[in-house]
Amino acid sequence: MKRIGVLCLLLCLLLCGCGGDQPVKGTHFAMDTVLSFTVYGAKGKQALAEAETLMDELDAALSVTDENSQIARYNRGEPDALSPETERLIRQGDALEKETEGAFSPRLGALTGLWGFSSDTPHRPEREALEAAKGDRSRLDLGGIAKGYAAGRLREAWEALGIKSALAALGGNVLALGEKPDGSPWRIGIRDPFGGQEDLLGALEVRDTCVVTSGGYERNFTEDGVTYHHILDPETGFPADSGLASVTVVCRDAARADALSTALFVLGREKALDFWRGSEGLELILVEQDGTVTVTDGLWDAFSGTGEDFTYVREA
Ligand code: AMP
Ligand code: MG
């Protein structure tokens, strides 16, 4: 009997132990990108399954390419296609458009559709078509905010499960929930916008926040020797040409972080820093085309630059 008791105890320890200090990891394809998840705690597996379901749901609702999505249906002239939740997200997008003086807009669907960055055949539009699409705000494209919104929803779902320590990377959107189980911060790699997928220009140590990077390297095509990327300046209708190669935003509000990474990329270094001076709870890493990396004060100690070809500057 005693031996059975010991065996049971051992079995129990084995079964419970797997949720303790080893994370559950997984990848999933949705929102046109590879999503990766790392979750610590006993409910790791459940957290992963919920994450996959949630990402698929939001993708199905918000995708601009999936012809059954709410966005596609709205763009085809069905105003009732939007759920109250999607309408709320669009209102947040509209507020960000005001706040960024038009640099971000959730209503650039006519323009982004014309360039076709989400299609298999992106191309430089004719000038007349471009002029018409530039002023057209009748179509939605939430591509600049949807992944961040998804990251925020994921945080809610995981917190409801009692998860205290997890990381999610949704394309350039990283959600860092809590800290590592040993109390140390998460270490997030910041991509080198001039290098390949694995190249970094530095690393950032963070706790319980979102880190979102936008850059022209994410999606682009070359036509007649000119490379065009997917972040459009609503004023010109052309890919933003502000001197920035990438913008990293650190901010707890995930959707806001995502929209701002896009907007500040459009606005350029000086206006981005003005915006930073006027905002609470926001920190930035701005990478210029000439290799200058500006790190705002609140991130300086948490950031370590590793790229040899970069000059690192602290903005106080
Ligand atoms: P991100 O990768 O977050 O910077 O978002 C880029 C995506 O947002 C593009 O693929 C477009 O779908 C959309 N987009 C492009 N330019 C803008 C803009 N100025 N404001 C809002 N969304 C944009
Ligand atoms: Mg964005």
pLDDT in the model for residue 307: 84
To test the pocket of ligand 1, the residue of 65, 142, 231 to mutate (highest count of ligand atoms within 8 Å of its CB) is 231
CA 230 – ligand 1 centroid, Å? 7
The residues, ordered by sequence, that sit 6+ positions from 202 with a Cβ below 8 Å of its Cβ are 189, 190, 285, 293, 303, 304, 305, 306, 307, 310, 312
Buried b (16+ CB within 10 A) or exposed e, 155-186: beebeebebebbbbbbbbbbbbbbbbeeeebb
Closest by CA position to 115, among listed 219, 39, 25: 219
Ranges 12-16, 172-176, 243-247, 301-305: which has the least confidence: 12-16
pLDDT reading at 25 higher than 90: yes
* Percentage, residues of the chain above pLDDT 70: 94
Closest C-alpha residue for ligand 1 atom 5? 144
- Do the beta carbons of residue 279 and residue 260 sit within 8 Å? no
With a 6 A CB cut-off, is 217 part of the ligand 1 pocket?
A: no
Tens digit of pLDDT for each residue in 203-234?
Answer: 999 999 999 999 988 898 999 999 999 999 99
Q: What is the pLDDT of residues 181-201, one digit of tens each?
A: 999 999 999 999 999 989 999
Question: What's the CA-to-centroid distance between 251 and ligand 2, angstroms?
Answer: 12
Ligand 1 neighbour 148 (Cβ under 6 A): no
- Three-class SS of residue 128? helix
Distance separating alpha carbons of residues 151 and 39, to the nearest angstrom: 14
Please answer whether residues 19 and 43 qualify as being in contact, where contact means their C-beta atoms are separated by less than 8 angstroms.
yes
pLDDT at 11 over 80: no
Q: At residue 273, does pLDDT exceed 70?
A: yes
The yes-or-no verdict on residue 15 having pLDDT over 90 is: no
Q: What's the confidence (pLDDT) of residue 1?
A: 46
Q: How much is the average pLDDT of 26-52? A: 97
Atom 11 (ligand 1): residue with closest C-alpha? 143
314 against 15, higher pLDDT: 314
pLDDT at 14 over 60: no
Burial 16-46 (b: 16+ CB within 10 A, else e): eeebeeebbebebebbbbebebbbbbbbbee
What's the gap in Å between 172 CA and the centre of ligand 1?
A: 12
Closest residue CA from atom 18 of ligand 1: 104
Q: Is pLDDT above 90 for 19?
A: no
Reported confidence tier of residue 21, pLDDT bands at 50, 70, 90: confident
Would you say residue 111 has pLDDT above 70?
yes
If you measure from the C-alpha of residue 210 to the centroid of ligand 2, how many angstroms do you get, rounded to a whole number? 12
Rounded distance from Cα 262 to ligand 2 centre (Å): 4
Rg (CA), the chain: 21
* pLDDT surpasses 60 at 101: yes
Eight-class DSSP state of 163: -
Is the Cβ–Cβ distance between 173 and 36 less than 8 Å? no
The pLDDT score that the predictor gives to residue 4 is: 54
If one residue of 32, 59, 66, 112 were mutated to test the ligand 1 pocket, choosing by the most ligand atoms within 8 A of its CB, it would be 112
